Amino acid sequence: MTVTLAELMRQYPRAGRLEWIGLRPARRAALATPDRADIDATGLVGDRYAGRSGTRAVTLIQAEHLPVVAALTGTTSVDPALLRRNLVVSGINLYSLRKGRLRIGGVLLEGTGVCDPCSFMEESLGTGGYNAMRGHGGITARVIEPGPIAIGDLVQAQLEEANA
């Protein structure tokens, strides 16, 4: 049986899991790391970027990339708070969802692209931090259906809705 590339791109071995939530209340302020959060139509309630840009309402990073960034910066681990992303997700390839839809708890998001690093990574990760993050910065997303999220929620590709 021949499988098409389109069929392969719709197959995921398993659901992922929400591992961490970070809210940025103000520029350069310490992140709040609640176990639960609400996402409204403009982004994470309590995050300084909520309402600013629909295509970047939520930022997500792959948990599996944190050890890679640590290795590239010569450290043993990287605290997700240093990376200034909203959500850390494990077990599902976020890059494959950069233009697709994903459900986390009661929320439906649509990937809008990759989340490239900014110059702040040099400050938070040290010299070379910007380049260590390149290709590992995660994705940006807009909100399709708002709702609550909590650490431990399943993260699932929403294939039918993405093609609608």
Can you give the pLDDT at residue 3?
86
pTM score: 0.90
- Measured CA to CA, the distance from residue 141 to residue 19 in angstroms comes to 17
Q: What is the pLDDT of residues 22-60, one digit of tens each?
A: 998 888 888 999 999 999 999 999 998 887 768 889 999
- Measured CA to CA, the distance from residue 79 to residue 93 in angstroms comes to 20
Can you give the pLDDT at residue 164?
43
Q: Dihedral, CA atoms, 84, 117, 112, 68, nearest 10 degrees? A: -80
pLDDT score of 160 more than 80 = no
Question: What average pLDDT does range 110-120 have in this prediction?
Answer: 92
Question: What average pLDDT does range 121-136 have in this prediction?
Answer: 91
- % of the chain beyond a pLDDT of 90: 71
Angle at 44 (CA atoms; ends 29, 120), nearest 5 degrees: 35
What does 141-162 look like in DSSP terms, one character per residue?
A: EEEEE-EEEETT-EEEE-HHHH
User: If residue 69 lies in a helix (H) or strand (E), which one and from where to where?
Assistant: helix 66-73
pLDDT score of 138 more than 90 = yes
Can you give the pLDDT at residue 8?
80
The CATH class given to the 36-153 domain equals mainly beta
Can you give the pLDDT at residue 53?
65
Between residues 70 and 52, which one has the greater pLDDT? 70
pLDDT score of 71 more than 80 = yes
Please report, for the chain, the start and end positions of each structural domain, with discontinuous segments joined by +. Answer: 36-153
Q: For residue 19, give both structure tokens.
A: 């591992």
Rounded mean pLDDT of the chain? Answer: 91
Q: For residue 155, give both structure tokens.
A: 């993260």
